[in-house]
Every structure is written in C-alpha cells, then in structure tokens.
Amino acid sequence: MRKTIVSAAIAVAALTAGAVAIAAETVTASESEQKPPHRHWHFEGPFGTYDRAAAQRGYQVYAEVCSACHSLQLLAYRNLMELDLTENQVKSLIKDIQVPDLGDDGQPIERPARLSDSFRKPFANPAIAAAANNGKAPPDLSVMIKAREDGPDYVHGILTGYVPFDKLTPEQIKEFNLTKDDNFNKYYPGHRIAMPPPLADDKVTYADGTKATLDQEASDVVEFLAWASEPKMEDRKRTGVRVILFLLAMAGLMYAVKRQVWADKH
C-alpha cells in the first residue's frame, strides 16, 4: 500500500512537471519583454532586514525626485521614525513640507506637516494627476514593491532600464513606433513608458557621503519602497522564527506522547 502511494505520488509529480515544462516553454516563447536581472536585497530571505541607511537615502531620493509625481499615501511622516530616525530628525526632514487642511473658518489652507499627517500627495486627486501627466496618473507607490511580480528587481529594472533614443536600433524604433519624445525602457511591458528617466548619476547629493550613482539611487529607493510596502516584515520574520521553533518542540512532544499511547497497540 505504502509503495503504491509513493510510486503514484512520483507519477503525479512527473506528469505535473511535464505539464509545467510545456507551459513554461510556451510562456518564454510568447513574451518579448526582458525580465529584469535578479539582484541581492538586504531584506531577502527568512532573516533579511531592511538596510536602514539605504532606506534613509531612499527616502531622500523619494522626497527630492519621485514625490513630485508619485504619492505615498498609505504612509505617515511618523512612520519614518521606524527607519531609526529620532522624532527631531524626522521633524527637521519635514519642516518645509506644507500639507492641505481646513482653516478655523473652514477655508482650505496649507499648514506645516505634522508627524501624524499622511505623506503629502503631489496632486489633489487622480483626475488632476492624470490631467497633468498626459492622461495617465502616476501610480501611488505605497505597496508598489508588492504589487509587481519580483517587485524589487522590477522597480530597480525600470529605474535603470532606459535606453536613450540615439542608442536604439532602427528595428526597435520601427517595431515600437517610437519618436524622439518617447521613453524606451527595457523592462517595461510594451517598452513605451510615460515616465521620463527619473534618476541619473548625481541626481541627489547624499548627506552620508555615499556616491550617488544611478544604480545606487535606484537600489536605495527600492530599499525604501520595500520598507514602505511591508513595514512589519522584520517583526513578522522574528515572530515566525519563534512560532516555528515552538511548533517543532510541540510536534516532538506530541509525537513522543502519541508513540507512548500507541505502544501497546502495535
């Protein structure tokens, strides 16, 4: 009986693997997009954590570049304290930010941001955002890293995957019907992306002296956005280790008890 189950299980596995293999082949054949290369991230793996220094630099990139168009509406300024920044450091980071509110007379006003405020949105609503960006609103980035397949690699790929018009082959220009005003991105589905290249070498000047290469900026902002997408990740992994250790011990005990209970029946 046991042998039958094992061999049958192998048969099932083989059949399924065959089907998946055929499937995988058709998929690679049908997709023209390049997959962004896998990079190592500090937050990967069962014990990975966010690199705080990188995430702080990433916030600087977001604040100085991305935030002109992209909102981060699920975050509040108080959340920045989770990146090992003190209350006063966060307050000085946001001291020039004005957020919309209603005055005592009920009229709209702008006032300095508080820690409890959500991140300032670049556009008051999606319609305004779309109107200001050729009809397509720049997406919110709060959970962007979780909202794409292989999110960290994908976002890094998009940020670094632009090909300037003069570097494109005539075939590419023809195939994708490109003009000088279009943006070609290796990793964007369909390649024609509305967003102009947002980052470049020395686009920001890092306070900690890190050299601001394009790759560095992209990696840092991905680290920051990964944290923004899943701020409780470290807590989750820590809890997970404890839970699994407990369950392993409990399983061991239960197995011993079960064996003893059954000792006279075998």
Residues that bind other proteins (CB under 8 A): 1, 4, 8-9, 11-12, 15-16, 19-20, 22-23, 26-27, 29-30, 46, 74, 76, 78-79, 104, 115-116, 139-140, 142-143, 146-149, 151, 189, 229-232, 235-237, 239-241, 243-244, 246-251, 253-258, 260-266
Q: Smallest distance, Å, CB 180 to other proteins?
A: 28
Q: Smallest distance, Å, CB 218 to other proteins?
A: 20
Q: 200 or 250: whose CB is closer to other proteins?
A: 250
Cα torsion angle, 127, 131, 137, 140, sign = negative
Q: How many whole angstroms separate alpha carbon 58 and alpha carbon 142?
A: 14
Q: Smallest distance, Å, CB 54 to other proteins?
A: 21
Indicate the SS3 state at residue 83: helix
Cα–Cα distances in angstroms (integers) from residue 28 to residues 34, 35, 56, 90, 185, in the given order: 10, 10, 38, 46, 19
Q: 69 or 147: whose CB is closer to other proteins?
A: 147
The H or E element that residue 123 is part of is none
The phi, psi pair for 32, rounded to 5°, reads -90, -20
Q: Smallest distance, Å, CB 261 to other proteins?
A: 5
143: Cβ–Cβ under 8 A, 6 or more apart, which residues?
A: 74, 228, 229
Q: How many whole angstroms separate alpha carbon 250 and alpha carbon 190?
A: 52
Q: 68 or 244: whose CB is closer to other proteins?
A: 244
Q: 6 or 200: whose CB is closer to other proteins?
A: 6
Q: 117 or 215: whose CB is closer to other proteins?
A: 117
Q: Smallest distance, Å, CB 4 to other proteins?
A: 6
133: Cβ–Cβ under 8 A, 6 or more apart, which residues?
A: 69, 194
Q: Smallest distance, Å, CB 266 to other proteins?
A: 6
The H or E element that residue 2 is part of is helix 2-30
Q: 86 or 169: whose CB is closer to other proteins?
A: 86
